[in-house]
Structure 1
Amino acid sequence: MAPVFLDDPVFWALHVLQIGVIGLTDIEEAFGVDIAYAEELENQMFDHNHWPVFTVPLRSTGNIHVIYRNLDGDMGLDYVLTYPDLPHDLGLAAVAADFVGPGMSWPELLTIANHPPAAGDRTRMDAASRLLILLPALGDADLPDTAVPTVAAALSELTSSPDPDHIAETLLHNDKAYWRPATWEQLSNGATVCDEPRSRRYGVPWECTTDQDVAVTRALTGT
C-alpha cells in the first residue's frame, strides 16, 4: 500500500492521466501543478524498485488491487480482482503496452465508489478516492448525464484543477489511447459482459468461463 500518495493532489492528477486521453498534455494548465514537483513525484510512482499498490475492498468480500507494475521493460497499471468464488486472481484491466479492458461499467464503478464494505474501508479511501483510483479501468459507451458532474466533483475534491468539469468531460468522452468505450449487457444468468474484445469480460469462453463471468459481476456489485 502507498497511503502517502492518497493525500497528494498531484498524485491524483498523474493517476487519472493514465487513462491516456487526447487533449490533456499540459498537466500544469489542466491541474494547476508545479511541473518540477510533478516530475519528482512521477519518478517515485514509476520507480522500478517500488511498486505502489492500492487496495479497494468490495462489499462482496473481494478486493481490487491497483498495482503500478514498474517492471523494467514491462511497465503498466494493473487492476487485479481477488474474490473467493474465483479460482484465481483475475486481471480486470491493464493499462500497458498490451492493453486489457475495460474492466467495469459505470454502474459498477459507481457502486464500488459509493458503497464501501459494511465493516468500513480501512484504506483511507473515501468515495472520491475510490472513484478516481478505479477510473482508468472504466469503459462504458452509455454514460448517464450525471457521469461528468460526478467525476468533476471527485476531481474538485482531490486535485487542484481550475476546471474540473472540462477535465471530467475529457476523461470520459474523448477517445482513449487503448480500448474503446464498451456496451454492457446483463445476461439471463446475471453476468454482466461487454462487446469489447480486449476485455476479460467479453463473454467468450477463452476469456472467462460462464461461472467466472457471474462471479466477477457479483464481486463488483456485491450481489
Structure 2
Amino acid sequence: MLITGFEDHPLVDGSYLLDDPVFWAIHVLQIGVIGLTDIEEAFGVDIVYAEELEDQVFDHDHWPVFSVPLRSTGNIHIVYRNLVGDMGLDYVLTHPNLPDDFGLASIVADFIGPGMSWPELITIAHQPPTADDRTLLDAAGRLLILLPALGDTDLPDTAVPTVAAALSELTTSPDPNHIAEILLRNDKAYWQPATWDQLSNGATVCDEPRSRRYGIPWECATDQDVTVTRALTGT
C-alpha cells in the first residue's frame, strides 16, 4: 500500500484488529475527550489485555492501517503513525481527481482538523459496501473508525443514539449511550467542533482554522475543496 508521506514506514494491514471489542475501545479514546480515562470501567474490558493490545496498536515497528473505500472511487486511509516521538492518527483521502493524497485530519501534537461533518460521516458509514470493501463491511465499523475525524457543532438528535448503537455492536461497554454522549458532546481536546457551510459551487467548508477544509462562506472554494467534498459525499 502506497500512501503519500508513508512510503518508507512500516505500514501493516490492521484488519485483524477489527473483530476485537478492545481495539474499538482503544480507537474511540483517540478522540481525547475528558471523562473516559478508565477504559476498564467505560468499556468493560480487562485492563491487562487492553494494555497488551495497546502495545500492538502503537507498535513502532508495525503501523496499523485501515482503509474505507468510498462510493466515489476514492479511499480514506486511517494510519496509526507510531513514530517514536511523534505518535499520531492520520486520516488520508486518496482520489483519482486529486493530484496528491489529501490529509483530512491528524491527531498529533499540532492537530489538523476536523476532517468531516456529521452528514459526510453518516453518508460514508451507510454507503453500500463496494467490491473492494473487505475489511469494514458494516456501517458501525465505518462510523467508529472515522469518528475521531469528526467535528461538527450541528449534530442532530439522532447522533448520540447512532453512535451508541455502533458502540453497542462493536464494544462491550455497559453504557454505550453515556459513552456516545461524552464522545460527541464534550469539547474535543484538540480542536473545537466546527460549523460547516456549503458554498454555491457545492464545496463544503468549515470555520475551524486548524482544518484543511477551512473556508469563509462568501469566498470562492478551490477546485480541491470541491473535489474533496464530492469524494466524501459520492456526488
Q: Normalization by structure 2: what TM-score?
A: 0.91
- Kindly state the Cα deviation for residue 121 of structure 1 after the two structures are TM-superposed: 2.1
Amino acid at match of 2:168: S
Question: What is residue 96 of structure 1 aligned with on the other side?
Answer: 108
Question: Contact 2:69 / 2:132 at 8 angstroms: preserved in 1?
Answer: no
Paired with 1:119 and 1:160, the residues of 2 have a C-alpha distance of 30
Cα separation, 2, equivalents of 1:59 and 1:74: 32
1:131 to 143, 146, 153: 143
Gapped regions of structure 2 (runs ≥ 5)? 1-12
Question: 2:188 corresponds to which letter in structure 1?
Answer: K
Tell whether the 8 Å contact from 2:152 to 2:194 is kept in structure 1 after alignment.
Answer: yes
Q: 1:115 aligns to what SS in structure 2?
A: coil
Q: Secondary structure at the match of 2:18?
A: helix
User: Is 1:2–2:14 an aligned residue pair?
Assistant: yes
Matched, 1:58 2:70: yes
1:192 equivalenced with 2:198 (yes/no):
no
Q: Give the deviation of 1:123 after TM superposition.
A: 2.0
Partners of 1:147 and 1:185 in 2: how far apart?
Answer: 19
Residue segments in structure 1 that go unaligned for 5+ positions in a row: none
Runs of 4+ in 1 over 4 A off after TM superposition: none
8 Å CA contact retained: 1:67, 1:77:
yes
2:126 to 114, 118, 128: 114
Q: Is residue 2:25 matched to residue 1:19?
A: no
Q: CA deviation at 1:203?
A: 2.2
Instruction: Please state if 1:81 is matched with 2:90.
Output: no
TM-score (norm 1): 0.96
- Is the 8 Å Cα contact of residues 68 and 136 (structure 2) preserved in structure 1? no
Secondary structure of the equivalent of 1:175? coil
Q: What root-mean-square deviation, in Å, do the aligned CA atoms of Structure 1 and Structure 2 show? A: 1.3
Aligned-pair CA distance for 1:125: 3.1
Counterpart CA distance in 1 for 2:63 and 2:137 is: 19
Residues 118 and 55 of structure 1: is their aligned pair in 2 closer, same or farther, counting only changes over 3 Å?
closer
1:63, 1:54 → 2: CA distance?
10
Query: Does structure 1 retain, via aligned residues, the 8 Å contact 2:69–2:130?
Result: no
In 2, Cα distance between the equivalents of 1:188 and 1:164?
Answer: 39
From 174, 190, 200, give the equivalent of 1:162.
174
